[in-house]
Amino acid sequence: MSDIVFEAITKVFPRGGSSFTALADVSLEIPDKQFLAIVGPSGCGKTTLLRMAAGLEVPSSGIVRVGGRRVNGPGADRAVVFQQFALFPWKTVGENIAFGLKCKGVPRARRDELTRDYLALMGMSGTEDNYPHQLSGGMQQRVAIARSYAIEPQVLLMDEPFGSLDAQTRMVMQEELIRISRVNPRTVLFITHSVEEAVYLADRVVVLGRSPGRVTDVIDIRPVREAERWDKVASEEAMEMPGFGHLRARIWRQLRQEMQISRTVAEV
């Protein structure tokens, strides 16, 4: 079992003399092998939630559990894919992917084998000896995803992984991610500010509101996706289906409401 559980998470940041509540009493459960996307306006604390699961941030109160174990610090059982790719520029593609395996103490021959396997999975065979700066943004993010998969983590934490890619590359990467999660299913926590991306990729979508950040809606995508068979068509066709449109509209309504609420709060 590799589920992710957030239990009554509150996060308060000191801000100047006062304090700022980023997350207020957020509880959330991602069952084993489920792909959960979080959308929300900027400043709603969605990245903070992910960083807590990664062990890079500590909740002010509440507990984060991954696979039943309480998170206290980063670890290779929870791989993170960053928006900025975070590839080591002085290491080759192969060395980047092998890094986590080296930390685990995997012997060299096995490391090379796994590196080749996961590069092949990402459709990037033969690029082992390139340096990251020689690759396009999309290719770099493929390497970062391969690096995360290679350590065979219990869960994958993806923080707006396609946020810095151009629209076409982004679409290709979304389809690619669907394909990989079919070959190699994992528990995924996926942060995005794109409603389409969330609906297209996720099993469930969580909408976070802001000031303070809290769960305003949880939407199960699977029944609609299975009924309309999105996985049998290209992503742009899936996005034109009526069920997809309804889900998108529902999430947008939520987000719009959130933005109006916080505007009213700001005016008061």
Partner 1 sequence: MAAILSAARGSRRELALLSLLGAALFFGFWQMLAISGLVSKFVLPSPGEVLIAALTMMVEPFAGNTIQGHVAASLGRWAMGFGLAAAIGVPLGLAMGYWRLLDAMVSPVFEAYRYIAPLAWVPFAALWFGTGIGGPVMVIFTGAFAPCVLNAYRGANLVERHLVEAARTLGAGSIRVMAEVLLPGALPSVVSGLRVGAGLGWQSLIGAELIVVSSGIGYVLVQGQSNLAPEIVIAAMVAVGLTGLLIDIALRLAEARIRQRWGQTP
CA distances from residue 27 to 24, 30, 89, 221, 245 in whole angstroms, order as listed? 9, 10, 37, 20, 28
What is the distance, to the nearest Å, from the Cα of residue 254 to the centroid of all Cα atoms in its chain?
A: 21
Task: Give the residue with the Cβ less far from partner 1, 151 or 180.
Answer: 151
| Smallest gap from residue 22 Cβ to partner 1 (A) | 18
| Smallest gap from residue 7 Cβ to partner 1 (A) | 22
Show contacts with partner 1 in window 23-52 (CB under 8 A).
none
Per CB under 8 A, the list member of 22, 66, 79, 93 interacting with partner 1 is 79
- Per-residue string for binding with partner 1, 207-236, x by CB under 8 A? ------------------------------
Per CB under 8 A, the list member of 17, 133, 266, 268 interacting with partner 1 is 133
- Establish if 184 lies at the interface with partner 1 (CB under 8 A): no
What's the half-sphere exposure (Cβ side, CA atoms, 13 Å) at 98? 19
Task: Considering only the stretches 35-43, 95-103, 117-125, 245-253, report the one whose residues sit in contact with partner 1 under the rule CB under 8 A.
Answer: 95-103
Q: Is the peptide bond before 107 cis (omega within 30 degrees of 0)?
A: no
| Smallest gap from residue 75 Cβ to partner 1 (A) | 7
CB 35 within 8 A of CB 179: no
Distance CA 114, CA 121 (A): 10
Task: Considering only the stretches 28-36, 61-69, 84-92, 227-235, report the one whose residues sit in contact with partner 1 under the rule CB under 8 A.
Answer: 84-92
CB 173 within 8 A of CB 124: no
Per CB under 8 A, the list member of 40, 59, 132, 161 interacting with partner 1 is 132
Task: Considering only the stretches 5-13, 37-45, 80-88, 179-187, report the one whose residues sit in contact with partner 1 under the rule CB under 8 A.
Answer: 80-88
Task: Give the residue with the Cβ less far from partner 1, 55 or 212.
Answer: 55
| Smallest gap from residue 81 Cβ to partner 1 (A) | 9
Number of other residues whose CB lies within 10 A of the CB of residue 217: 17
- Establish if 149 lies at the interface with partner 1 (CB under 8 A): no
Where does this chain bind partner 1 (CB under 8 A)?
54-56, 74-76, 78-80, 82, 84, 86-90, 99-100, 103-104, 131-133, 147, 151
